Structures are given as C-alpha cells and as structure tokens.
Structure 1
Amino acid sequence: MERALAVIRNDSDQTKSLIREAGEIAAGTGADLYLLHVLPEEEYEDIMSSRLESDGKSFPLDEAEMEAEHFATQVGHKSLEGLDVEYEVLGTVGREETAILDVADERDCDHVFISGRKRSPSGKALFGDLTQRILLNFEGRVTVQLHEEE
C-alpha cells in the first residue's frame, strides 16, 4: 500500500475504528493517507433549501465543502489520536460513489477503506449499495468494515 483513501461517512464508533485501522496500516507501511468526507448532494440541497426558507441565506458550495472537510478533520483527529501518522483531510459535495472514485483516482490511491452494513438476519453480510459499488468499481484493494444495520 502506497496511498490509501479512508472514507468518513459518519461519526460512529465503527467509522472511528475503520479510520484508526487505516492509520495504523499507513503508519506501518509509510503510505500516504487521505481522509475524505463527502456531503451527498441530496443533503446539500436539503440544507440549501432549509437555509433559504428560514433566513433567506444561501449555502455556497465552497462553504459546504469546507464543512465537509471540517467534519473529516474532527473525526480524523479523534480516530488517529496518539498515532504517529500524517494524513491529508479532504471534503467535497456530490454523488458519494463518483466523489470517492474521483478522489481515489486523482490521488492515485491503491487502497480504499470504507464502512458497510450487515443486513441479513441470518448473519450473511450484504453490502450497502455504496459499498458494493466501490468494491465493484475501484481498481485497487478495498477494506470494508461491516456493522449492523440500524
């Protein structure tokens, strides 16, 4: 592993565990580590509409990207505390699959870390749509950390 992209989807314990694992592996191999949070465009549009209705103010794209980056910074800091690893934090707005694959391609990543959900009551792991699309479309290694569906 030379360059890894760890996707921060939320602030859950599972996400923090995944980011920690990515950091430990990157530290051990000397790999570059990128932390990415994508604000889905549907959420961006909902926030934009809500702000326009409540106070007439817009939610510029660059502000949304800064908020996504800030979120990734907070989760990354909590997850990698005490670990000797350098990383770059990225935030963007858009379709999650496209954004993740585009950033991985732009940064020439050879490994992606992403969370997924277990959905089967019989214990069989079924991946969520986003996780499955990353597994199918990313041309490098993918580490998936599964957690129970909420």
Structure 2
Amino acid sequence: MVVVAAVDQSNRAETVVKEAKTLGDAFGDPVHVVHVVSRSRFIEMERTEIEKTGHAVDVDRIREYARSVAEEASETFGDDIVSVGLVGDTADEVLAYADEHDARYVVVGPRKRSPTGKVLFGSVAQSILLESERPVVSIRPRDDE
C-alpha cells in the first residue's frame, strides 16, 4: 500500500505532503506525491508552445513538469518520497492513481471557499472526497488561504 498526497502549486502543498509523510511513517507505507496538469492547463501550455516554436508540446515534457511540481512540494521530507506527474482531469487522475497503487489514504488540501463558491466552481478535493473508494484525509485550510 501507499499514501498518495495530491498537491497543487499552492502553499498548502507542503502541509499535504507533511500529513501524508506522517501517515506513511505510521503505517510503514511509501508516500507518492502526485501533481496533475489539468486539461485546460495542458491546452494553454500547448498554445504557448505552438506560438513560440510552431511545434506541439511533448506530453512527456508536461508530465516531467508536473513531476517537478510534486518533487518541489516534497523536497524537505527526504529522498524516499516518489514524485509523480500526470496529465488529465485532476480528480480522475488522482483517484485512478490511488486505485492502481492500492493507496491506504489519499491526502488533499482544499482551498477555503465560501458555500457559494463551492457550488459555482466545484473543487478537485471535493470530487476526490465524494468519489474515492479509499479513505481521504482532508487538511483543513488555514484562515489566510
């Protein structure tokens, strides 16, 4: 089993990894830190690359970029953490990865939102909480987030 920490590029990412590391250490499970480049962000990166070079962006390069985001979030927690970069629908990719690797827990760090904001804009963390067949640990947002 593994503990999956789903991170974005916010200041919450390190807190998510810290909690995942605590759980991993408690159960003797490895920690996999996952960052997903969403479809919309991929399309944006693709447009920029085509405008700059005239060539499509290499998907492996985007996965490597996503992996580097995960690696940056976990760099203070040691070398035993696996950094993973994926491309696609964020919630779907995290859930599929968790299932594929038999995750004991999925750790997420939702943004603090108003009730109206949650209804109008949804939330990746909320989708993971509602759709996961695995236990999900949600790190409470701080007041300044």
Q: Same fold (TM over 0.5)?
A: yes
Alignment of 1:70-81 (within 5 A): 70-78=68-76, 80-81=77-78
In structure 2, give the amino acid aligned to 1:93.
V
Report if aligned partners of 1:8, 1:37 keep a CA contact under 8 Å in 2.
yes
List alignment gaps of at least 5 residues for structure 2. none
Separation (CA, whole Å) in 1 of partners of 2:39 and 2:144: 23
Q: Is 1:96 matched up with 2:90?
A: yes
In structure 2, give the amino acid aligned to 1:23.
K
Q: Is 1:114 matched up with 2:112?
A: no
What percentage of residue pairs aligned between the two structures are identical? 24
Report if aligned partners of 1:119, 1:149 keep a CA contact under 8 Å in 2.
no
Query: Deviation above 3 Å: which 4+ runs of structure 1?
Result: none
Show the counterpart of 2:34.
36
TM-score (norm 2): 0.85
Show the counterpart of 1:65.
63
Structure 1's 72 and 145: CA in aligned 2 closer, same or farther, altered over 3 A?
same
Show the counterpart of 1:26.
24
Separation (CA, whole Å) in 2 of partners of 1:139 and 1:74: 28
1:71 Cα offset (Å): 1.6
1:55 Cα offset (Å): 2.7
Query: RMSD of aligned C-alpha atoms?
Result: 2.2
Report if aligned partners of 1:117, 1:149 keep a CA contact under 8 Å in 2.
no
TM-score (norm 1): 0.83
Show the counterpart of 1:5.
4
SS in 2 for 1:5: strand
SS in 2 for 1:110: strand
SS in 1 for 2:103: coil
Q: Is 1:49 matched up with 2:47?
A: yes
List alignment gaps of at least 5 residues for structure 1. none
Separation (CA, whole Å) in 2 of partners of 1:54 and 1:146: 40
SS in 1 for 2:139: strand
Give CA deviations for 1:28-84 in whole Å, capped at 9, x if unaligned: 221121110101111011011011112323211111001111221121113x15xxx
1:146 Cα offset (Å): 2.9
Report if aligned partners of 1:36, 1:91 keep a CA contact under 8 Å in 2.
yes
Report if aligned partners of 2:3, 2:23 keep a CA contact under 8 Å in 1.
no
Show the counterpart of 1:144.
138
Separation (CA, whole Å) in 2 of partners of 1:25 and 1:98: 23
